[in-house]
A and B are shown apart, each in its own frame.
Chain A
């Protein structure tokens, strides 16, 4: 093998770069987040699987309807009226941003820009 010093060094750097996750994570992997669900309310605007997967799309749609087209009509689900609002609908039951929203968002590094305009509840 020629230039073995340079080539072995290069290969070691390459392997270390590729395996960053292996040595970075040593012993630090935390548990999967468990967002705190409201105790007294059992229903949401959508079934659990759907609201988990699509809540950001729903909020975006509400934002567009309310702010951009001025459509402030409420949603009626199982006889309950929900305003199309983050603060007045979602946060009514899920009162804590830290114990609910942030749990998953921090784990997966999601930084929604809700809080660019809305004031986060003081906790």
Chain B
């Protein structure tokens, strides 16, 4: 039942926006004040988290290697799984960030009678994970048509590609379908897979429901409940927000404010949640370090500076006490003045 609370929270957020914008004057709060606050929290919180992480020392190399490491020049080693230089680390990070390479290794453990434990490759998580992330990226780029004036060619190009199937009017976007499918899979996996269900927490379900709510309200506005979804007024508000002169010219459908409020919640929540894996993937020491602990000397950054202390220096420091205690010294005390 760990999904009950986050579900209730998202429904509450929808209702708050839906009811509050009926009150005259509240449109300004939900259309202007809340987006600015959310954006400030997002950027500020994101930078704060990254700098906070950067302050943690990584005293030794801890890359996760899962292939033959470099030993002798004639023994073949795995350049991606046990990278030894920056180039190989960059290649490994690139594949991780753009293709989610580590998820490609995902396995499913099953116990058969016997008992016999088997591990089987399971690529569904990789497939729906990558569908989700790339759909989300395309959707964000598409939305730039509402923020940019004039609209750059790349935004129109991506939008045309996304609506290439030309189904219905307004034309259906492929990413709308794929992101919904992907969210449903990612949710079903947490519910039906007993192991994943056991480790799923409130903060795993909440972003799923929130993003599902954002997608649903967006799809409803575009295809089903078009009343008062005045795209020109919305674009004027969006451009106004990014040029710091926001105006709300018309009565925009409350569905739009629900959509916007959920997006603002996502932005404000982002730095404090697991969604920070967006920045965190770049700062994972198990991924971004080279496996070169046997080639390069790594010095612990908080080691105190210890100066060499020779025996001669030691004797110079303690000679008087040593002589007094009768300990033999290599160099006698200087002769006493007459």
Contact = CB atoms under 8 A, between A and B. Distances in A.
Q: Ordered nearest first, which 5 A-B pairs have the shortest CB separation?
A: A60-B169, A21-B242, A21-B147, A56-B169, A109-B145
A50 B227 CA distance: 7
Interface in A57-75: 57, 59-60
Interface in B141-180: 144-152, 155-156, 159-160, 166, 168-171
Given A10-B50, A30-B150, A32-B233, 18 more contacts: A2-B55, A2-B301, A18-B42, A21-B148, A21-B239, A32-B236, A52-B230, A53-B226, A53-B227, A56-B169, A60-B169, A104-B232, A107-B149, A107-B235, A108-B145, A108-B146, A109-B155, A112-B169
A113 to B, nearest CB: 6
Interface of B: 42-43, 46-47, 50-51, 54-58, 144-152, 155-156, 159-160, 166, 168-171, 226-233, 235-236, 239, 242-244, 249, 279, 282-283, 301
Contact of A49 (B151, B168, B169, B227): B227
Interface of A: 1-4, 7, 10-11, 14-15, 18-22, 24-26, 28-30, 32-33, 49-50, 52-54, 56-57, 59-60, 104, 107-113
B43 A4 contact: no
Contacts of B43: 15, 18-19
Contact of A2 (B57, B159, B166, B279): B57
A53 B228 contact: yes
A107 B286 CA distance: 47
B158 to A, nearest CB: 11
A25 to B, nearest CB: 5
Given A25-B148, A30-B149, A7 B54 contact: yes
Nearest to B143: A21
B249 A32 contact: yes
A14 B42 CA distance: 12
Contacts of A4: 54
A108 B239 contact: no
Contacts of A26: 243
A33 B232 contact: yes
B126 to A, nearest CB: 25
24 contacts: A1-B51, A2-B54, A2-B301, A7-B50, A7-B51, A10-B50, A14-B46, A15-B43, A24-B152, A26-B243, A28-B150, A30-B149, A30-B150, A32-B232, A32-B236, A50-B227, A52-B230, A53-B230, A54-B226, A57-B169, A59-B169, A60-B169, A107-B235, A113-B171
